[in-house]
A and B are shown apart, each in its own frame.
Chain A
Amino acid sequence: MIELSQVVKTFEAGLATPFTAVDGVTLSIPAARLTVLKGPSGSGKTTLLTLIGCMARPTSGRIHLHGLAADALPHLAPAEALEITSLPERFLTAIRRRTFGFIFQQFNLVRGISVLENVMLPTYPTGEDHRAVEARAVARLESLGLARHLRSSVDRLSGGEAQRVAIARALINDPAVIIADEPTAHLDSRLSEDFMGLMSQFKDAGKTLLITSHDPIVYDSALADLVVEMRDGRVVSET
């Protein structure tokens, strides 16, 4: 479980024009379930994702991971709660690498290199054996129907294909939590349904899923266990 307590994120704090993107959010995100953050643009969904995913630190408030960071920080007992906002950078990086898999709105694939290399990128700093990682990446890509694109440059992929490469990359370190930011924003309805199909498989495999979206295909899906509505940086409802 991920627990947020009075989390605030203010950009340009202390300057002439501070902007509070997340304003006192308290929330519990259950493990092995699909949680959707919905709300209009500027409601603070993406900022909240970056805070949960250890990509930025909140200005105030606390975020606890319950039983999720054991792979990243082996000295912790599996069930122990970990308060992440005060951790040093290298621990945050380790958690980001082992605990979370990110699927970005713009996919954020590295241009000019192959599909396979993109998927293997998160493992390079771990020093894991190259051949073992490659075999794992090929298996992931094959399971997502991308076998024929292994050596292609990512620049030549369609939107749906690029997203599946981003999914394969998010899964390469076998994370406990998958975070997806507006994953269907650039997909048509059929591809959006396909995406939700994949999420269903991951949920069945015991992954915790956290998705931001203002697409009804996502937040009205039967798969969604918890839908959190946000507006102006605050949680307005939980269903």
Chain B
Amino acid sequence: MRPPLQRYRNILDFALSSLLRRKGRNLALISVYTLVVFVIASLVFFVQALKHEAHELLVQAPDMVVQRMVAGRHDPVPLAQVEAIRSIRGVDEVQPRLWGYYYDPVFGGNLTVLATEDAALAPDAIWIGEGVARSMRVKEGDLIPLRGYDGQSTLFSIQKVLPETSELVSSDLVLMAPKDVRALFHFPEGLATDLAIQAGNPRELPTIAAKIVELYPDSRPILKSEILRTYEAVFDWRGGLMVVVLGSAVLSFIIFAWDKATGLSAEERKEIGVLKSLGWESADVLLLKFWEGTVISVTAFLTGVLLAYAHVFFFSASLFEHALKGWSVLFPHFRLSPALDGYQLTVLFFLTVLPYTAATLVPSWRAATVDPDAAMRS
């Protein structure tokens, strides 16, 4: 091995044995450091995964949704409007959608019931999302009763559990035939929940929306871009809220780490003096302290990030899902699909590892640049 490389290795070896000498202090430091990285990384992963889910959701969303408003509230849309809207120039397709929410008192969650015309759906059968299957503990072929508007239960057989591409999209979904949706909710014939519109050219959407409002003044067109903006705002706001709450924890850590890292004990100062008297240069002492700081901060960073990954993607961010998922009590529990952003991880790395490493170097630099005899006497 070439001498410069061997020098790095020798000093790294000594840094590791130095860390082991102060096991208690360093373990306490790594624990607190890991906790802070864990909390911040959980937050980053969570918000990122939610955004990913929202993106998945919007990929499948129509270009525009048209609702009808009565007294400022969402009301069913007459199917008679479908042909009139389809005749507007630029509209490719108008699909009336029939859907609603079904509250299940047994497992305490809301299901989204959606009508589908899919020919593969058998009569009196339903397709359900992964979250519904998990919450109700049912599988394909089982029968489940759903309580209708009149209190009467209807049995449906589960034909399929929907695949898990994005659980936020499909987790709480129950797909059934239109006639079953109307029967379950007593939804009148001739009406739909809303209309899904596809346009050939997305740039024409604002014009199409204006024409729809002109045609039906009680309608409310919602563009895909508006939904996207709303989701972004909601997720960013929730993430921001947590950042404010966590701010105090991070600040406490910074004070703690600064105190631990910048305060050299008398013994450490004396050791630096001894090393210098034995022929160590100031640069060698700084390299030693750099390795010590790096080992602590990288260990804490990697452990914190791995724990956060497990926490968010295997345990559904159970520690702060109520703050982040919002109306989680209404949804069946869902698992997030892993979505990592290299940029955010890099920023997290530089925000947590660099300040600590720098904080360890400052006092060592001061101690390492004085004469070895002065360091030994201090």
Contact = CB atoms under 8 A, between A and B. Distances in A.
B284 A127 contact: no
A50 interface: yes
A130 B10 contact: yes
A102 B277 contact: yes
A125 B274 contact: no
A137 B162 CA distance: 69
B14 A128 contact: no
B1 interface: yes
Interface in A105-121: 108, 110-113, 117, 121
B21 A108 contact: no
A98 interface: yes
A124 B275 CA distance: 10
Interface in B1-29: 1-7, 9-11, 13-14, 17-18, 20-22
Nearest to B278: A122
B284 A125 contact: yes
B371 A90 contact: no
B373 interface: yes
B371 A127 contact: no
Contacts of A112: 17-18, 20-22
A130 B7 contact: no
Contacts of A57: 371
A205 B9 CA distance: 33
A49 to B, nearest CB: 9
A57 B39 CA distance: 51
Contacts of A98: 279
A110 B7 CA distance: 19
A93 B281 contact: yes
A121 B7 contact: no
A94 B1 CA distance: 22
Nearest to B271: A110
A126 B7 contact: yes
A89 interface: yes
A108 B270 CA distance: 9
Interface string A158-194: 0000000000010001000000000000000000000
Contact of B280 (A50, A93, A108, A113): A93
Most chain B C-beta atoms within 10 Å of own C-beta, residue among A110, A129, A130, A169: A110
B293 interface: no
Interface residues of A, number: 32
A16 to B, nearest CB: 19
Interface string B357-378: 0000000000000011110100
Most chain A C-beta atoms within 10 Å of own C-beta, residue among B9, B14, B282: B14
A53 B273 CA distance: 14
B3 A128 contact: yes
A113 to B, nearest CB: 5
B21 A173 contact: no
Given A56-B371, A93-B281, A98-B279, A108 B274 contact: yes
Contacts of A110: 271, 274-275
Contacts of A104: 274, 277
Contact of A117 (B17, B267, B374): B17
A77 interface: no
A96 interface: yes
A97 interface: yes
B278 A97 contact: yes
Contact of B279 (A50, A96, A108, A113): A96
Most chain A C-beta atoms within 10 Å of own C-beta, residue among B20, B271, B279, B373: B279
Interface in B250-288: 267, 270-271, 274-282, 284
A55 interface: yes
Contacts of A130: 6, 9-10, 13
A122 B3 CA distance: 15
Given A93-B276, A96-B277, A102-B277, A126 B17 contact: no
Nearest to A47: B373
B199 to A, nearest CB: 70
Nearest to B21: A112
Given A55-B371, A127-B6, A128-B6, A122 B279 contact: yes
A99 to B, nearest CB: 10
A71 B36 CA distance: 50
Interface string B14-53: 1001101110000000000000000000000000000000
B11 A125 contact: yes
A113 B18 CA distance: 8
Contacts of B5: 127
A117 B278 CA distance: 13
Nearest to B267: A111
Contact of B1 (A122, A129, A173): A129
Nearest to A90: B281
Interface in A39-55: 50, 53, 55
B14 A124 contact: yes
A125 B271 contact: no
Most chain A C-beta atoms within 10 Å of own C-beta, residue among B20, B267, B278, B282: B278
Contacts of A128: 3, 6
Nearest to A173: B279
Interface string B94-138: 000000000000000000000000000000000000000000000
A55 B3 contact: no
Given A111-B21, A127-B3, 12 more contacts: A53-B277, A56-B371, A108-B270, A112-B21, A122-B278, A122-B280, A124-B7, A124-B10, A124-B284, A125-B10, A127-B5, A130-B10
10 cross-chain pairs, A with B, having the tightest CB-CB distances, nearest first: A97-B279, A127-B3, A112-B21, A127-B7, A124-B10, A50-B373, A125-B284, A55-B373, A122-B278, A56-B373
